[in-house]
Amino acid sequence: MTLAQAPHGFLSPTGVEIAFLLVGLVTLGAALVTVTTRQLVHAALWLVVALGGLAVEYLLLTAEFIAWVQVLIYVGSVVVLLLFGLMLTKAPIGRSPDADSGNRWAALTVAVASAVALVWVVVDAFRTTWIDLDGPAAGTTEVTGASLFRHWVLPFEALSVLLLAALVGAIVLSRKAKAGDQTGDPAGDLSAAPGKEGAR
C-alpha cells in the first residue's frame, strides 16, 4: 500500500483538517480577546471575528446552511444589536476601568467548568460518529431547514423576541438618560414670571 492510499490519521492530516485547526485557533484567540479587553467596542468587533470563524468552521464541515445562518443572524443581527446598544447607552469608546468587575477567577472557573461539560457531552454523544468530508454533504440546506422550521420553530422565534426586547430596553435607557440631562424647566420659568411682575 502506497502513502497516497494510506488512511488519513492524526499524523497525516488533510488540507481541510489543517484549515479547520488554524481557523479554530484564530476563533479561540478572538473569543479570548473578546472577554478580556476593556474596550467595549473592540469586544464587539472581536466578537464578529469569533462568530465569523465559527461560520468558516461550519463551511469546512460541509454545513453551508448553518454557516450562512451564523453569518446572517449572529454576525449580521446580534453584533449589530450590541453595537446599537452601546451607541444608544453612550458607552465609553476607549478603555473603561468599569468593565472589570473583579470576579475574574469566579468567571474563569465557571467558563472552564462549562467548557469541560460541553466537550464531555459532545464527545459522549458523537463518540462513534465521523463526518466523511469526501462524501456527499450531510448538512444540506433542505435537510437542515426542514429540521429547523419543523422541530425548532419555538426557540427560533423566542430568540427573535429576546433580541427585540433587548433593543427596546436600550432605547428606553437612552431616553431616560437624555431626559436626566435636561436641567431647564419651562414650567418653572413661566411660574417665576408673575412673581417678578408682582415685585415691581
The domain limits of the chain are 15-101+133-173
- Per-residue confidence band for 125, with pLDDT thresholds at 50, 70 and 90: confident
Q: CB burial class (10 A; 0-12, 13-18, 19+) of residue 146?
A: exposed
- Compute, in degrees rounded to 10, the torsion defined by CA atoms 81, 82, 87, 88: 60
pTM of the model: 0.58
In this prediction, residue 2 carries a pLDDT of 42
- Is the model's pLDDT at 53 over the cut of 90? yes
- Per-residue confidence band for 136, with pLDDT thresholds at 50, 70 and 90: low
Q: Let me know: does 67 contact 35? Beta carbons within 8 Å.
A: no
- Per-residue confidence band for 192, with pLDDT thresholds at 50, 70 and 90: very low
- Is the model's pLDDT at 169 over the cut of 50? yes
Range in 11-25, 69-83, 186-200 with the lowest mean pLDDT = 186-200
- Compute, in degrees rounded to 10, the torsion defined by CA atoms 60, 63, 68, 70: -90
For residues 7-21, average pLDDT: 73
Give me the chain's average pLDDT, please.
75
- Is the model's pLDDT at 138 over the cut of 90? no
Which class does domain 15-101+133-173 fall in? mainly alpha
- Is the model's pLDDT at 200 over the cut of 60? no
Instruction: Write a three-state SS string for the chain.
Output: CCCCCCCCCCCCCCHHHHHHHHHHHHHHHHHHHHHHCCCHHHHHHHHHHHHHHHHHHHHHCCCHHHHHHHHHHHHHHHHHHHHHHHHHCCCCCCCCHHHCCCCHHHHHHHHHHHHHHHHHHHHHHCCCCCCCCCCCCCCCHHHHHHHHHHHCHHHHHHHHHHHHHHHHHHHHHHHHHHHHHCCCCHHHHHHHHHHHHHHC
